């Protein structure tokens, strides 16, 4: 499950590529387990198909044609283990090739890894109830890939896959293209903003670059056995230092919120993302 990331914040999207991206990557399923909406599982578990998906996020703040904010990768093994990898720290991080990987295991354990600084953060285990909910969202999604509170707009084809086109239940109008035969993984998404006259302006669009079925590159799932365990903020601070980015009060506040999620004292992702966390599988990217 990949979560929506909203590009285009202050400082050339620096924050959007930092803690916000991390919050989205580790928040799988939190939107549908928030208590406001609980996903109804399908009767039978979805078949687990190994794949590797690459998407490119575009931001439309300054350019009507869209400015690339980098390519992200989502992959799934046949045992249900998933990895999401995306650029961090906006344009400076994009130029330097900085990224964070988040591995989600079948029992819903998560670990975030920053390979450039050889650091990782292992998330606390979910409570039994939340673990069961997360497994239902991940392995037993609705047959039509429409979660409670969403609207089915129709069906189509994308990257040679049959997709459900879904309107998301989010603060901003969001459309998602979910693969019906790949466990409802979101192949693409589009986030818009309603204008005073009622028209929609596109804010961000995650466009599919390529989809490969079959065993993913095992390096994506490297658990960093020799990496240093640390809080997310400590790892991000180390990456910021590498990039020459000042660690200001704004980043410090984001770091604390992300650390709270990591420690289990908060349920959801950081507030600065501007978008509710939606499961990739049940609410992620669009075209």
How does pLDDT run along the chain (287 residues), one tens digit per residue? 444 443 333 333 444 445 545 555 554 344 443 433 444 555 556 679 999 999 999 999 888 889 898 999 999 999 999 999 999 888 788 888 899 999 999 998 899 999 999 999 998 887 888 888 888 878 889 999 999 889 999 999 999 999 999 998 777 889 999 999 999 999 999 999 888 888 888 999 999 999 999 999 999 999 999 999 999 999 999 999 999 999 999 899 988 888 888 887 545 433 332 222 333 444 333 33
Residue at token pair 């980043």 = 251
Q: How many Å from the N-terminal Cα to the C-terminal Cα in the chain?
A: 16
The stretches of the chain forming alpha helices (DSSP H) are: 10-13, 19-26, 90-96, 128-139, 232-243, 249-263
Residue at token pair 């501007």 = 274
**Which strands form 151-158's sheet, in the order they lie side by side?**
151-158, 161-167, 174-179, 186-194, 200-213, 51-59, 67-76, 82-87, 99-104, 110-114, 119-122, 228-229
- Strand runs labelled E in the chain: 51-59, 67-76, 82-87, 99-104, 110-114, 119-122, 151-158, 161-167, 174-179, 186-194, 200-213, 228-229
Q: Is 108 left (phi over 0), alpha (psi -120 to 50) or beta?
A: left
pTM for the full predicted model: 0.81
Distance in angstroms (rounded) separating the CA atoms of residues 46 and 27: 21
Distance in angstroms (rounded) separating the CA atoms of residues 177 and 140: 18
The one-character DSSP state at 87 is E
Q: Reduce the DSSP state of residue 85 to 3 states and report it.
A: strand
């Amino acid at each position: 499950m990949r979560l929506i990331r909203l590009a285009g914040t202050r400082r050339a999207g620096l924050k959007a590529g930092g803690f916000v991206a991390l919050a989205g990557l580790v928040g799988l399923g939190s939107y549908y387990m928030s208590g406001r909406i609980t996903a109804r599982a399908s009767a039978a578990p979805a078949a687990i198909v190994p794949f590797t998906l690459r998407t490119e996020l575009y931001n439309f703040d300054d350019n009507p044609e869209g400015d690339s904010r980098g390519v992200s990768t989502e992959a799934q093994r046949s045992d249900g283990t998933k990895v999401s990898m995306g650029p961090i720290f906006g344009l400076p991080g994009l130029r330097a090739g900085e990224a964070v990987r988040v591995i989600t295991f079948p029992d819903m354990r998560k670990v975030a890894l920053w390979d450039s600084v050889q650091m990782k953060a292992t998330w606390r285990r979910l409570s039994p109830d939340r673990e069961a909910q997360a497994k239902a969202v991940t392995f037993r999604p609705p047959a039509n890939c429409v979660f409670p509170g969403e609207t089915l707009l129709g069906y189509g084809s994308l990257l040679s896959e049959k997709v459900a086109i879904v309107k998301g239940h989010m603060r901003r109008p969001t459309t998602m293209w979910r693969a019906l035969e790949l466990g409802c993984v979101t192949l693409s998404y589009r986030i818009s903003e309603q204008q005073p006259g009622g028209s929609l302006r596109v804010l961000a669009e995650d466009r599919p670059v390529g989809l490969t079925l079959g065993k993913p590159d095992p390096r994506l799932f490297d658990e960093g056995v020799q990496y240093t365990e640390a809080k997310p903020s400590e790892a991000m601070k180390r990456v910021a230092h590498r990039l020459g980015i000042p660690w200001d009060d704004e980043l410090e506040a984001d770091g604390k919120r992300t650390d709270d999620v990591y420690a289990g004292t908060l349920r959801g992702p950081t507030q600065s993302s501007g978008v509710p966390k939606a499961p990739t599988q049940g609410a992620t990217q669009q075209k």
